[in-house]
Amino acid sequence: MEFSAAQIAHIVGGSVEGNPNETVSSFGKIEEAVKGQLAFLANPKYEEYLYSTSANIIIINNSQVVKEEIAATLIKVPDAYSAFALLLSEYQKLKQQQLVGIQEPVYIHASVKKGNGIYIGAFAYLGENVVIGNGVKIYPNAYIGNNVFIDDDTVIHPGVKIYHDCIIGKNVVIHAGTVIGGDGFGFAPQIDGSFKKVPQTGNVIIENNVEIGSNVTIDRATIGSTIIREGAKLDNLLQIAHNVEIGSNSVIAALTGISGSTKIGNNVMIGGQAGIAGHLTIADGSKINGQSGVSKSMKTPNTAVTGTPAYDYTASMRSQALVRKLPEFEKRLKEVEESIKKLEN
C-alpha cells in the first residue's frame, strides 16, 4: 500500500513541508530508513539522522528547528511520537480489514451468530451461542467457549482461549497464548488438611479498547465478574486473579501478579514484577514501582510506592540513599566513640 504525504498529513493532523505528492509504502527507523519509507523524529538524540536519512517522508514535532537542508518531505505535528503511533495503528487496521473469510478446517457451532467482515482462522473452535460482532478477527487455533460475546473490531490472536460466558468489548486486542476466564484459585481447607475446590461460577468482562499481551491469565470470578475497564493496557505474562477489577486507562507491566478481589483504580501505573496482595484498593492515579510488594491498600490518589513491603516512593529513595552511606556512618561513629573515650580518660 502506498500513501502520499498529503494523505498522511490528513490522518495525523499535520502540515506538509515539501512535496505533498511524495509517497511511501513502508516504515523505517530514522537512522536506518531507505528510499520509499516513512520515518519520524521525536527524540533529540537522533536529530543528526534528520539530515542524513534516506526516508522520503519524515514526521517531526512543530518545535523541531531544522538547521540544515533536508531532501525528505516533512510532516509537522504537535507530537511526532503520538502521530507515528496513530499512523501505525491505522495502517494495521487497513491490513486487518483485508483479512476476511473463514478458513478450513474450523468448528463453528450452528448457533453461532456472526457479524459482517469477520475472519476466522484455521483450527479455531467456536462453541454454542457465541456472538461475533462486525469486523472481528479470530486467528488460527483460538478457542471461544459457549456463550462468549465478542464485540465489533476485536482481534483475537493465535492460541487465545476464552472460556464460557465471558464478554469482550469493542476494539479489544488479545495477543497469543492468553487465557481469559480460567478458574480462579479457590480452595477451602478441610479438617483433614485437604482442600476442597470452590466452584468458580462467574465470568470475565473486558471493556472497550483494552489491549492484553501474550500469555496473560485472567481468572473468572467466583461469583460476579472479573473486570478489565475501558482503555486498560496489560503487558505480557500477567496473573489477574478472580474478582479483580482494573480501572480505566491503567497500565500494568510484565510479570505482575494481582491477587483476588483487589480493586485497581483508574489511570494506575504498575511496573514489572510487582506483586499486589488480595482484597486491597489501589486509588486512582497510583504508581507502583517495579518489583514492589504491595500488602496494604493505597487510599490516597496519585501517590507512588516502591519496595517490599511497598511504601512511599520519596521516603524509600531517601532510605536507600542513607543505606549506601552506612559504612561511612559506621566509621564516623567509631571516631566519635574513640573521642569520647579520650575525653573520659
pLDDT tens-digit map of 19-71? 999 999 999 999 999 999 999 999 999 999 999 999 999 999 999 999 999 99
Find the CATH number of the domain harbouring 223: 2.160.10.10
Confidence of residue 146 (pLDDT cuts 50, 70, 90): very high
Write the DSSP assignment of 138-196 as a string of letters: E-TT-EE-TT-EE-TT-EE-TT-EE-TT-EE-TT-EE-TT-EEEEPP--EEE-TTS-EE
pLDDT digits 0-9 by tens, 171-191: 999 999 999 999 999 999 999
Residue 318 is predicted with a pLDDT of: 84
- Starting at the edge strand that comes first in sequence, how are the strands of the sheet with 173-174 ordered? 101-102, 119-120, 137-138, 155-156, 173-174, 211-212, 233-234, 251-252, 269-270, 287-288, 304-306, 311-312
Residue 329 is predicted with a pLDDT of: 85
pLDDT digits 0-9 by tens, 261-300: 999 999 999 999 999 999 999 999 999 999 999 999 999 9
Residue 186 is predicted with a pLDDT of: 94
Which is higher by pLDDT, 69 or 125? 125
In a shared domain, residues 23 and 171: no
Q: Are 289 and 303 in contact (CB under 8 A)?
A: no
In a shared domain, residues 193 and 52: no
Residue 311 is predicted with a pLDDT of: 76
Residue 48's domain comprises: 3-97
At residue 217, the 3 state secondary structure works out as: strand
At residue 126, the 3 state secondary structure works out as: strand
In a domain, 336, yes or no: no
Average pLDDT over residues 219-243: 98
At residue 336, the 3 state secondary structure works out as: helix
Q: List the grid coordinates of 162.
A: 476464552
pLDDT at 96 exceeding the cut of 90: no
Give catalytic residue positions.
Answer: 242
In a domain, 330, yes or no: no
In a shared domain, residues 298 and 262: yes
pLDDT at 1 exceeding the cut of 80: no
At residue 328, what are phi and psi to the nearest 5 degrees?
A: -65, -40
